[in-house]
Amino acid sequence: MHTGSKRILNHIAQSHSLAYETIRESYEILTDYGNLAGASLPFILEKIMREGKLGPSDYAIMLGYGWGFTANGGLIIF
């Protein structure tokens, strides 16, 4: 999930009942690099893939939020 801020990550996780472990990489990228805006999603995906957490028939849902009322999502199937 897009790494806007820790407050945003906490709010989205809480409102969608997501466990910390589900979006742990988003928190780690935010801690390591700060808010990368839209570039955070490729950083997060690379981290997940490097750690070997995704394999054949797994999927990832990517969520990004932008200025104003913009939001985007994508489903990636491996």
Q: Residue 17's domain is classified under what CATH number?
A: 3.40.47.10
Write the single-letter amino acid at 58: D
- Per-residue pLDDT at 1: 80
- 1 within some domain: no
Query: Alpha carbon 19 to chain centroid distance?
Result: 13
C-beta separation of 41 from 73 below 8 A:
no
- 29 within some domain: yes
- Per-residue pLDDT at 32: 94
Count the domains in the chain: 1
The pTM assigned to this predicted structure is: 0.75
Whether the pLDDT of residue 17 is over 90: the answer is yes
Between the two ends of the chain, the Cα-to-Cα distance in Å is 18
Give the integer Cα–Cα distance in Å for 5 and 10.
9
- 22 within some domain: yes
- 58 within some domain: yes
What is the residue whose two structure tokens read 């839209």? 38
**pLDDT 10s digits, 26-36:** 999 999 999 88
Read off the pLDDT of each residue in 2-11 and give the average, rounded to a whole number.
Answer: 88
- 49 within some domain: yes
